[in-house]
Amino acid sequence: MSLLRRLPRSAQLALLLLMLLALAAMLVPLLSPYACDQIDFGGVWSAPPGLQAAHWLGTDSLGRDLLVRGFCGARVSLLVGLVGTLVALLIGVSYGALAGYFAGRLDALMMRVVDVLYALPFMFLVIVLMALFGRHFLLLFVALGAVLWLDMARLVRGQTLALREREFVAAARLAGLSELQILRRHILPNLAGVVIVYATLTVPQVILVESFISFLGLGVQEPLTSWGVLINDGAREMQSSIWPLLIPCLLLLLTLLCLNLIGEALRAALEPQVRR
Amino acid sequence: MLNLVLRRLLTGIPTLLLLLTLCFFLMRLAPGGPFDRERSLPPAVETALRAEYHLDESLWQQYRRYLGGIAQGDFGPSFQYEGYRVQELIAAGLPVSLQLGGAALLLALLAGGALAVLAVRKPGGPLDRALMSLTLLGICLPNYVVAPLLVLLFALTLGWLPAGGWQPGQWRDLVLPVAALALPQIAYIARILRSSLLETLAAPYIRAARARGLSESRVLLVHAIKPALLPLISYLGPAAAALLTGSVVIEQVFGIPGLGRYFVQAALNRDYTLVLGVVTLYGALVLLCNLLVDLAYGALDPRQRAA
Amino acid sequence: MNLLSVRELAVYAQQACVLRELSFELAAGGSLAIIGESGSGKTQAMLALLGLLAPGLRAQGSVRFDGEELIGAPEARLRAVRGAGIAYVWQDALASLNPYLRIGTQLGELLALHQQLRGGAARAEALRLLDAVRLAQPALRLHQYPHELSGGMRQRVMLALALAGAPRLLIADEPTSALDISLRQQIVELLAELRRSHRLALIVITHDLSLVEPLCERSLVLYAGEMMEAAPSAPLLRAPRHPYTQALLRAQPGAALPPQSVLPSIAGSLPPLAPPAARCVFAPRCDRADARCAQQRPDWRVQAQSGWRCHQVPAAADHGGHGAAR
């Protein structure tokens, strides 16, 4: 909590906004009289915003409520962002910590693998994967995690290499702790700072990649929707009405902005500790 | 230097082979095939087609045949575009994508560099803070958001520029796609260069240069620029790759006949050879970019050259 | 008129006082050693002269160079003085030479800026300067990068860069601290020679007292941002008045000591940065301090060519051989 108070006002505001957004994503589709994919045949087709209207922000060309759809998309995008980051985190941290902690030849080999993977055009592989295997939600997570764990692994490995030379690790070893115990009790907790910062900055990346793939029509599938899908739909209709494009764009922009602000602020707040 | 190039070629070939192999078997694992249609083909026709494209052989045989072809510079026939070899399709699409990506990279470097230099004039000052807020916004606006918005504003509302299309020699066709592709990169480049410039400007040799009476612009452009460029250059490898992937979207939005547009269609249609060809090509481009980054590193940092 | 006149120069970091009431005069061609431990404020004082204090530090008082006030002067004026009027030789030659530029490039830009020399004339002058600092194979050096040179060679390049602006005052910040003992002697001799041949005024910042007498006629001792003592170098080193100067001399490794004895040191450490104190800054470490030292800041006392700031050394009492030094 003291960390929270140390963050600049802009980051605190961003955090608040983000929580409100998440809350809205949970509640709006629940409380609204319209469902995500409910078609209102009598509904006004994308009127300008107004609270008197039956649909506050109008509807898309199929008569679906834009406000509700925007937040339905938020559900998926935010969830994908969180879960995708978690996958990247899990793989990246365990891989990096193992390589860094055991150092030497194992480390060299593991990092060589990372180097090779870095040289692969991953976005293309993801596109191929999604195009070939259909649009499984689960597959999307795996694909995203697979792309984004590399940076995390490198970062964690570097930190671990530095940590294992520290006195408290030597002390723990003298106290008779096993290597795995040391790794779990002494190395991993000390990695928390870097990992938190990096994870915060990974969430927007995952959201970006997901919406990129969905934009191409390869990601989330109806009846589910995400911001990428909505932006793609909106772009196709923009000659008749700009709202179906603007609303998901604004939501996406706002979310990414908040996440980046928080991430940068956390980095500034935690990094001196990390370096020390 | 020659040493580095040779070493990179030697490690690059297995990397590409790995990529190729991975993709090859991944695609064959996937359900569906290149000849699936709404209405299934008569069995005799399908058998004939499969035989013509050697799909009736074992996977291993096909793999060996494919690699053998590549060794001779042949990436096989396209399944989707009848009568074309993959290399012919690539030769048609690649120049377009390169032109688009190259122009965007150039624009991003020039604009991003200029913004960074402006920002470090007075770190923490109003201009710096305004520029950094703006670039943060830029980072949060991916090109598939920028592209339709630009079309909406400049093509549909103002009518200044075409909303899409691609005719050789028409610079007006280039403006919007290049801008959409470059905008997020401008933001990244400006932020990276700004922070590396700030770090360099704090170095003792910069203070020493100032103490010798050099002007601030000389200090910045002669003394600080080389070391400050190093982090940017390591970013440019992946950034070049990002521009290439970005062009997948941009080409789709603007209807540009580049490689990226082929690619998504090809993957959806199970055009195995075309997908493989494009993936391999992009893999090679990424490797090439990384090599160029390392060469540039050596050229900029005399201490690296010795090592 | 003196070449450099510093009056009540002070440097503040927010409320903390880094330097307080520094005053001295330097004639054209004159020389001064500024002696003190690291952290005593000697480098900050010199950076303040050039308007090069780090952001967050600010200078007060007056610095006149050749009659022109430098404190608060516009950046353009300061730039004209830097390099061309006052040249600074930095402590760490490796860190102070741009590792990305050839020696020739770094020399050439200064010759173009300060002496309007370009092309062949600039090259000839660059070679002459490298020769003047006794750097072997000057033509080869022009094409080399700093990391390709040895420590002593880099120090000579630093001196050549300083001379490139044809300055009237050279400030050398710990010119020998990074060098081994044999090189140290060579650099000291070179500095003395350059001073003569280029008619330079010289300020040497050092904690190494062995540099003082060969290079500087006068000396000034700084402690925690305060002037402790100022005097001609010979009497200052032979018969210091201030307890701090005395302690400093005792702590020099070169001092004559009986074999097997422990090297003396000054007990305690520099006080942390603080607002200007109403006491003698050295009192907590001084073996002669009494209650007055802890409560009242001593005045600057002047006698003949010497000055000091200490309650325990009254002006009336003649402390040994200063008369002879006059």
Chain C 37-76, CB below 8 Å of chain B: which residues?
50, 52, 75
Chain C residues with beta carbon closer than 8 angstroms to that of B197: none
- What is the H or E stretch that residue C9 is in? strand C4-13
pLDDT at C218 over 80: yes
Cα gap C174→C208, rounded to integer Å: 8
Furthest CA-CA distance within chain C: 68
> What pLDDT, in 10s, does the model give residues C180-200?
888 888 889 999 999 999 889
Cα gap B105→B28, rounded to integer Å: 35
Cα gap B302→C92, rounded to integer Å: 20
Cα gap B100→B36, rounded to integer Å: 34
How far is the CA of B167 from the CAs of A207, B133, B256, B257, in angstroms? 34, 37, 9, 10
How far is the CA of B34 from the CAs of B21, B27, B41, B45, in angstroms? 19, 11, 12, 13
Cα gap B167→B161, rounded to integer Å: 13
- Number of structural domains found in chain A: 1
Pick from B170, B169, B166, B186: which is nearest to B104 by CA? B186
Give the CATH H-level superfamily of domain C4-241: P-loop containing nucleotide triphosphate hydrolases (3.40.50.300)
pLDDT at C240 over 70: yes
Which of the four pLDDT bands, split at 50, 70 and 90, describes residue C325? very low
What ipTM is given for this predicted complex? Answer: 0.84
- Whole-number average pLDDT of chain C: 86
pLDDT at C22 over 80: yes
Q: b vs e for B245-258, b when ≥16 Cβ sit within 10 Å of the residue's Cβ? A: bbbbbbbbbbebeb
Expressed as residue numbers, the domain containing A176 is 57-275
Cα gap A110→A127, rounded to integer Å: 26
Cα gap C103→C111, rounded to integer Å: 12
- Whole-number average pLDDT of chain A: 79
CB contact set of B142 (below 8 Å; sequence gap of 6+)? A208, A211, A212, B184
Cα gap A176→C238, rounded to integer Å: 61
Cα gap C35→C16, rounded to integer Å: 22
Distance of CA A266 to the CA centre of its chain: 16
Nearest CA to CA, how far is A175 from chain B (Å)?
42
Cα gap A187→A178, rounded to integer Å: 13
Pick from B116, B243, B245: which is nearest to B189 by CA? B116
Q: Residue C129: beta bridge partners?
A: none
Nearest CA to CA, how far is B211 from chain A (Å)?
30
CB contact set of C80 (below 8 Å; sequence gap of 6+)? B213
Three-point CA angle A119, A123, A125, nearest 5°: 80
Which of the four pLDDT bands, split at 50, 70 and 90, describes residue A273? very low
Query: Of the candidates B15, B268, B270, which has its C-beta nearest A119's C-beta?
Result: B15
Domain ranges of chain B: 94-306
User: With a cut of 50, which residues of chain B have pLDDT below it?
Assistant: 307
| B214/C99 CB distance under 8 A | no
Distance between the two ends of chain C, CA-based, in angstroms?
22
CB contact set of C222 (below 8 Å; sequence gap of 6+)? C19, C22, C34, C35, C36, C40, C41, C42, C45, C228
Q: Is residue A171 part of a domain?
A: yes
Which of the four pLDDT bands, split at 50, 70 and 90, describes residue C6? very high
| C114/B214 CB distance under 8 A | no
- Going B144 to B146 to B151 to B153, the CA torsion angle's sign is positive
> What pLDDT, in 10s, does the model give residues B160-176?
878 777 777 777 888 88
Under a CB-based contact definition with an 8 Å cutoff, are residues C86 and C65 in contact?
yes
> What pLDDT, in 10s, does the model give residues C101-143?
999 999 999 999 999 988 899 999 999 999 999 999 999 999 9
Nearest CA to CA, how far is C190 from chain B (Å)?
20
Polymer length in residues for chain C: 326
Nearest CA to CA, how far is B302 from chain C (Å)?
6
Three-point CA angle A141, A142, A146, nearest 5°: 115
Query: Of the candidates B141, B144, B270, which has its C-beta nearest A212's C-beta?
Result: B144
What average pLDDT does the segment A180-206 reach?
83
Domain ranges of chain C: 4-241
Q: Is residue A259 part of a domain?
A: yes
Q: Find the residue in C nearest to B230 (Cα).
A: C100
Pick from A145, A87, A150: which is nearest to A118 by CA? A150
Cα gap B253→B178, rounded to integer Å: 12
Question: Is A124 at the interface with chain B, CB within 8 A?
Answer: yes
| A257/B31 CB distance under 8 A | no
Cα gap C143→C127, rounded to integer Å: 12
Q: Which CATH class is domain B94-306?
A: mainly alpha
CB contact set of C246 (below 8 Å; sequence gap of 6+)? C240
Contact residues of B toward C, CB < 8 A: 203-216, 218, 222-223, 226-227, 300-303, 306
Chain A 5-24, CB below 8 Å of chain B: which residues?
none
Q: Which amino acid is at B128?
A: D
Q: Which two tokens stand for residue C55?
A: 């952001």
Q: CATH code at A111?
A: 1.10.3720.10
Distance of CA C232 to the CA centre of its chain: 15
